[in-house]
């Protein structure tokens, strides 16, 4: 299996966990089937019973849920190296939807191979367990975000989260990065209307803090953005030595 396919995952695990070169070899030897999808395509839907885990190799993936009145709530954004449906290894029926944000290269790893891997390599099991705990920590932060913060802080918070996580895998250029979410998608992630989101974008631009431009996000003043967003990166647990 080509090393490039697995590299974003290894990069992240290397930075955030204690996996050894031996563990890395086992991960690299996983049988992975790749698939290319366009933006806005469904990977898995509510009620599905997947038999493989989906690894994001390139592009961004969204986890979301449709609520009663047909409105979509985005639950999480996933980047290269993430396994958005890792839970399907133990929770067999999917309780939300997984779809692509933009054109994606995805890798599918059979559950049987994942199970063998975590049984034979305890440090990998620990690393993936840690991954699901960080996932839960991010969900806790999103509850605080949507439940308590102003729309401006919510957007700033989500942007900083994406920025910090992309930085970990070397996908930022200074304080600019590519994240092609439309205002509709951002609105669905922070629980506002699109026009309210539009207002927030104007406000952040007016304050000289943040610029959104055709899929490129530039943080103009990181200190100010961190302050107005009530952002503290602890919940991302990026540093395993802490």
Contacting residues toward another protein, per CB under 8 A: 150-152, 183-184, 192-196, 198-200, 202-203, 206
The CB-of-131 to another protein minimum distance in angstroms stands at 34
Is the CB of 106 or the CB of 185 nearer to another protein? 185
Q: Compute the distance between CA of residue 152 and CA of residue 38 in angstroms, rounded to an integer.
A: 30
Burial class of residue 132, CB neighbours in 10 A (0-12, 13-18, 19+): middle
Contacts of 137 (CB under 8 A, 6+ apart): 235, 236, 237
The CB-of-10 to another protein minimum distance in angstroms stands at 39
Is the CB of 63 or the CB of 149 nearer to another protein? 149
DSSP helix, strand, coil percent of the chain (3-state; round to 5):
45, 20, 30
Q: Is 231 helix (H, G, I), strand (E, B) or coil?
A: coil
The CB-of-181 to another protein minimum distance in angstroms stands at 13
The CB-of-151 to another protein minimum distance in angstroms stands at 6
Is the CB of 93 or the CB of 195 nearer to another protein? 195
Is the CB of 143 or the CB of 242 nearer to another protein? 143
Using the Cα atoms of residue 23, residue 26, residue 31 and residue 33 in order, give the sign of their dihedral: positive
Is the CB of 54 or the CB of 187 nearer to another protein? 187
Strands lying side by side in the sheet with 216-219: 176-178, 216-219, 210-213
Task: Find tokens 């055709």 and name the residue.
Answer: 214
Is the CB of 30 or the CB of 158 nearer to another protein? 158
Enter the tokens of residue 80. 């290269």
Burial class of residue 136, CB neighbours in 10 A (0-12, 13-18, 19+): exposed
The CB-of-159 to another protein minimum distance in angstroms stands at 17
The CB-of-50 to another protein minimum distance in angstroms stands at 31
Is the CB of 182 or the CB of 226 nearer to another protein? 182
Closest C-alpha to 39, from 94, 93, 105, 84: 105
The CB-of-125 to another protein minimum distance in angstroms stands at 43
Using the Cα atoms of residue 28, residue 33, residue 36 and residue 40 in order, give the sign of their dihedral: negative
């Amino acid at each position: 299996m080509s090393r490039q396919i697995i590299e974003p995952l290894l990069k992240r695990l290397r930075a955030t966990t204690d996996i050894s070169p031996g563990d890395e070899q086992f991960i690299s030897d996983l049988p992975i089937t790749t698939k290319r999808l366009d933006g806005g395509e469904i990977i898995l839907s509510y009620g599905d019973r997947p038999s493989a885990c989906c690894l994001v190799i390139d592009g961004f993936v969204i986890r979301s849920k449709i609520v009663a009145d047909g409105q979509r709530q985005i639950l999480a954004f996933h980047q290269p190296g993430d396994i958005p449906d890792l839970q399907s290894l133990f929770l067999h029926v999917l309780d939300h939807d997984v779809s692509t944000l933009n054109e994606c290269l995805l890798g599918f790893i059979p559950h049987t191979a994942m199970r063998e891997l975590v049984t034979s390599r305890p440090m990998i099991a620990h690393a993936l367990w840690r991954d699901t705990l960080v996932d839960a920590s991010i969900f806790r932060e999103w509850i605080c975000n949507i439940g308590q913060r102003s729309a401006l802080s919510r957007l700033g918070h989500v942007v900083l989260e994406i920025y910090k996580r992309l930085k970990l895998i070397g996908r930022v250029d200074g304080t600019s990065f590519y994240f092609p979410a439309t205002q509709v998608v951002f609105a669905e992630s922070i629980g506002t209307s699109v026009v309210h989101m539009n207002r927030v974008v104007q406000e952040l631009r007016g304050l000289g803090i943040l610029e959104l431009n055709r899929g490129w996000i530039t943080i103009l003043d990181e200190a100010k953005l961190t302050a107005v967003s009530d952002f503290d990166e602890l919940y991302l647990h990026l540093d395993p030595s802490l």
